[in-house]
Structure 1
Amino acid sequence: MPQRNQVVLVRHAETAWSKSGQHTSFTDIPLTENGRRAARELRPILAGWDFSLAVSSPLQRARETAELAGISEGLDLDPGLTEWNYGEYEGITTAEIRKTVPEWTVFSHPCPGGETGAEVATRVDGVLERAREARGPVVLFAHGHVGRVVVCRWLGFEPSAGRHFVLSTGTITVLGWERETPAILRMNTLS
């Protein structure tokens, strides 16, 4: 039977825009002081793992979370983990978008000038292929919406199923196996 890796998915810690609910894809902003503290609190949790591969979005908030959590040596930056491109919705909140598109979610409606769920899934599939080929547990540092697509693709779901999952800032989700079936072992937790 082939080796079955576990993937520890870490959503970056708090930024000013994640705190205010502004959609942040390509805008490269740092963690808040609270976010830096939360990222440091991940260090003892992640120290209990012997990761064979550590991958981060190249954006500052994900890299900074990884570094403060003690994962900097050998950290591979992969644009496949960059946040969903919100296009014209960059920097605005869901409430603002819903003034013109009342039932909008990133999973159900397009982002003008941004990415589709299928485009995000293609990026994520490449990252997960690397994770499955690794020779041990893998840690991924990513963002809220792309992280939810990571969960979906691990489970074999379409990106739109991401609407059913929550990934709070500075939390971990552990993806693994229930016998031969991809499964969520822990989700949106601090332990």
Structure 2
Amino acid sequence: MPGAGEQHQDGIGRPDALERLWTPYRMAYIRGENKPNDASARQCPFCRIPAMPDREGLIVHRGELSYVVLNLYPYGSGHLMVCPYRHVADYPDTTTDEAVEIAHLTKQAMRVVRAVSSPDGFNVGMNQGSAGGAGIAAHLHQHVVPRWVGDQNFMPVIGHTRTLPQLLTDTRDLFAEAWPG
């Protein structure tokens, strides 16, 4: 790979002055490799994850009705999701107990991320339905995305790239260790 100031070649061999930051793991997301073909619980990754060992599934914490997991295709470092175990798509269809636990685990996730990573802020929310931006609309999940001033700057807008300074399993281990008893 050329050093700073050296020219690279574009995709057809012409030199340019752009640096490259390769994120090949994103290709699986772009191709939709882990996205279910239908809305069934059998194909749903959020239904399959709880059957995995915590580290393999990137599970940070297991509650009674919901669990906290790192996003396999994160918007930024430390991007967590709070998912009910039950295969449910629409937030109003959660039980009162599920809604309470999702809220509690979201608050706890923010506390843990603050303690471990000291973000400047958070984006927290649910994308409901395909039109609402849900990548997997059949199983609701609450996003907890830590943010730092200038964290996403030009990279995702111009470069269509997200930068992640740490392996997901290392981030998962830090969060799981910091999660209270």
- TM > 0.5: no
Q: In proportion to residue count, which structure has more helix?
A: 1
Relative contact order, CA 8 A, sep 6+: which one is greater?
1
Bucket of the pairwise TM-score, normalised by the shorter protein = 0.3 to 0.5
TM-score of the two chains, using structure 1 as the length reference: 0.33
User: Which one has the largest radius of gyration?
Assistant: 2
